[in-house]
Amino acid sequence: MKIAIGADHAGFALKEQLRQALAEEGHELMDFGTESEQSCDYPDFALPVAREVARGHSDRGILVCSTGIGMAMAANKVAGVRAAPAQSEDEVRLTREHNDANVLTLGAKYLDEAHAMDLIHIFLGTEFTGGRHARRVAKIAQIEQH
């Protein structure tokens, strides 16, 4: 799977661990930074990852900051992106099944590498169930156009 990944300074260390683990699993990664723990602004990394996913150049996106919330707020400004912050397996599974989330945002403050990888595996392996949920996701797209 082709995955766009990015982080701010607070998520840098975890992003690097995740990037390496995902590459070892055979995923193709597009790393949009940051490249250090030097203070920076999370929207600068959320935007290129979100655009990459929205344009269909990557199958999914992963963003890491301190809580995952700021990255989700920024990424969701891009039409076609459905970014979800999650900390539990159930949240990740449901946001894929029900919301067709295409970007997962993670909080480095709350997750270690093993737990983050568990969440990512669920994110990458869970399909959108469609059905009644497809109607709801379509309504999200309509909001983006207004």
pLDDT in tens, 12-38: 999 999 999 999 999 999 999 999 999
List 27, 40, 98, 133, catalytic entry: 98
The domain of 24 spans 2-144
State yes or no: pLDDT of 146 exceeds 60: no
- Show contacts of 34-42: CB within 8 Å, 24+ apart: 34/6, 34/7, 34/8, 34/9, 36/9, 36/12, 37/9, 37/12, 37/13, 38/9, 39/9, 40/8, 40/9, 41/8, 42/8, 42/70, 42/71, 42/74
For range 44-65, the mean pLDDT: 98
Summary mean pLDDT of the chain: 97
State yes or no: pLDDT of 42 exceeds 80: yes
Taking the model in full, what pTM does it have?
A: 0.96
State yes or no: pLDDT of 44 exceeds 70: yes
Active site residue 65: yes
Going by their DSSP bridges, the two strands 2-7 and 28-31 should be labelled as parallel
Q: What percent of the chain has pLDDT over 90?
A: 96
The pLDDT of residue 32 is: 98
State yes or no: pLDDT of 101 exceeds 70: yes
pLDDT in tens, 58-83: 999 999 999 999 999 999 999 999 99
Q: How many domains does the chain have?
A: 1
State yes or no: pLDDT of 145 exceeds 70: no
The pLDDT of residue 99 is: 98
Dihedral over alpha carbons 62, 6, 115, 110 (to 10 degrees): -110
The pLDDT of residue 143 is: 87
For range 110-121, the mean pLDDT: 98
CATH of the domain at 126: 3.40.1400.10
